[in-house]
Amino acid sequence: MQEATRPLKILFVIETYFTHNNGTSISAQRFAEELRKRGHEVRILTAGEPADDIYAMKKLRIPFFQPLIEKHGFMFARKNKRIIREAVAWADIVHCYMPFSLENSAKREADRQNKPATTAFHIQPQNITSSLMLGKTDWANELCFKLFHHFTYKHFTHIHTPSQFMADEIIKRGYKAKIYPISNGIQSDFQYMKRAKSPQFQDKILIMMVGRLAGEKRQDVLINAIPYSKYGDKIQLVLAGNGPNYKKYYKLGQKLKNKPIFTYYTKEELMDTLAQCDLYVHASDMESEAISCIEAFATGLVPVIANSDLSATRQFSLDERSLFKAGDPKDLARAIDYWLDHPKEKADMEKVYAQSAKKYCIDNSIAKFEEMLYDAIKVHHKEKKRK
């Protein structure tokens, strides 16, 4: 069987796999599922409980920072050299998701066993620095880029980024690997759908945002925008997600006539609620992609997106009507009101946005991801022969 078509034994290395409140973990789960459908074997090296396809290590607790880490839906693995060695020995290729200790150890072990390895750049430095109130501090973010490169990315020949935006970010900082901008992709059942509103929403304008309740996601901008909207008394916000800013945002939302609904949805519940919504807002200052936004407009919701220089999400806007000045509640209210004032335009654009989402289907992403893996194996074999 040709190298570029044979089924592979793929090891995903990721500190946190078992969570539904972390975009990178969710992406890893979906990629594993889809790769298995294509005939590959996929196993996971992570923190958690062992299973047939899981090489599990105990959770590492970080003094003082552990509560904050857990609120972000994250955990670190306590490295076990024997388990890492066994996992890498099983694999044809190792794919590392993050620039942290477990992934770096797996790469070193792959080198020792002469196995090819690829990596991904999912975590923006701002995701880390924002937790320390340094999200918009240039020196702190640039330091992260340099440390990530020094300890992790300079050792890999192939890097997956979830967007062209993130590819451009690391290219301009001197990352030299072959870079594959590949969307995390949406599943095929996120398609255009409209449903009658349930009784609790029938007399409301329903606006949703999905994402961790964290400072950089800026749910506060959305909450603060509602009093500026001419429709403020009719708007019902649904903020889907968990995170460290829950108490802050809950308290902030109490000023609204219709108190925001803070919740966690299963995939089926999410799809059902999206189908009832009037608009989707993505207010985040910093994003490497924001798959939740694609899922929303795939179902037929017009998005209103923060026009931030640090966010890839603005790429999804099809024109200026769906953008607002990042961090500005008044401008967000203006954008919301525009779409609510023009229902015919909104109805037309709902179908256009749903059509535009088709290029982000996960089948396309998996095909490109396979291409990266096969290329990495090919390059690795050439290097072996050369040596």
Set out the domains of the chain in order of their start, with CATH numbers: 9-185+361-386 (3.40.50.2000), 199-359 (3.40.50.2000)
Q: Which one has a higher pLDDT value, 4 or 221?
A: 221
Burial of 90 (0-12, 13-18, 19+ CB in 10 A): middle
Q: Answer left, alpha or beta for residue 64, where phi above 0 means left and psi between -120 and 50 means alpha.
A: left
Please list, in sequence order, all residues whose beta carbon lies within 8 angstroms of the beta carbon of residue 117, skipping any fewer than 6 positions away.
93, 94, 95, 96, 106, 107, 110, 111, 156, 376
pTM of the model: 0.89
Say if residues 19 and 73 touch (Cβ distance below 8 Å). yes
- In one-letter notation, the amino acid at residue 284 is S
What gap in Å lies between CA 68 and CA 248, rounded to an integer?
A: 14
pLDDT at 135: 75
Mean of pLDDT values over 179-198: 94
Distance CA 129, CA 123 (A): 11
Q: What is the pLDDT of residue 4?
A: 62
Contact call for residues 43 and 55 (beta carbons, < 8 A): yes
pLDDT single digits (tens) 58-104: 888 777 777 766 766 677 888 999 999 999 999 999 999 999 999 99
pLDDT in tens, 115-135: 999 999 998 888 888 777 777
Q: How do strand 59-60 and strand 54-57 relate by DSSP bridges?
A: unpaired
What whole-number distance in Å separates Cα of residue 123 and Cα of residue 36?
25
Q: Are the beta carbons of 76 and 101 closer than 8 angstroms?
A: yes
Share of the chain above pLDDT 70, in %: 97
pLDDT, tens only, 267-294: 899 999 999 999 999 999 999 888 999 9
Task: Give 387's pLDDT tier (boundaries 50, 70, 90).
Answer: low
Is 45 in contact with 12 (CB distance < 8 Å)? yes
Q: What is the pLDDT of residues 234-262, one digit of tens each?
A: 999 999 998 889 999 999 999 999 999 99
Could you give the CA distance from residue 42 to residue 31 in angstroms, rounded to a whole number? 9
Report d(CA 9, CA 186) in Å as an integer.
24
Q: How far is residue 313's CA from residue 286's CA, in Å, rounded to a whole number?
A: 9
Residue 308 token pair: 């931030």
Q: Is the pLDDT of residue 1 over 70?
A: no
